[in-house]
Amino acid sequence: MFNKAVLQAAAHSIPKTKLKPRSKPYWSDELSQLVKRRNKLGRNINAENRKEWLAAAREAAEAIKRAKREHWQQFASTLSIKTEPSKVYGVLDVL
């Protein structure tokens, strides 16, 4: 009875997400929307929507670059002489 209640509470409270081995700590819903828009426009490129697709691609690339930079700056501000090199390498690897 108690186990069932705990499992139900956990199922209700804990979000179900899939962790990917190469997940990006800087990724956000905004970036997902920009990339989704870019990809949708890129499926049917023609003379009419090429400029719109290029603008969407540029906007997505700039937003990703900005998010990476902000994440690095935030991480670098927490570094100290005692920080493990493997932790630094791990962050550099996903950027």
Task: Tell me the pLDDT tens digit for each residue of 39-77.
Answer: 999 998 888 899 999 999 999 999 999 999 999 899 888
- Specify the residue for token string 């690897």: 93
pLDDT at position 20 is 66
Contacts of 34 (CB under 8 A, 6+ apart): 56, 59, 60, 63
pLDDT at position 57 is 96
pLDDT at position 42 is 92
Torsions phi, psi of 44, nearest 5? -130, 65
Q: What element of type H or E holds 2?
A: helix 2-13
pLDDT at 19 over 60: no
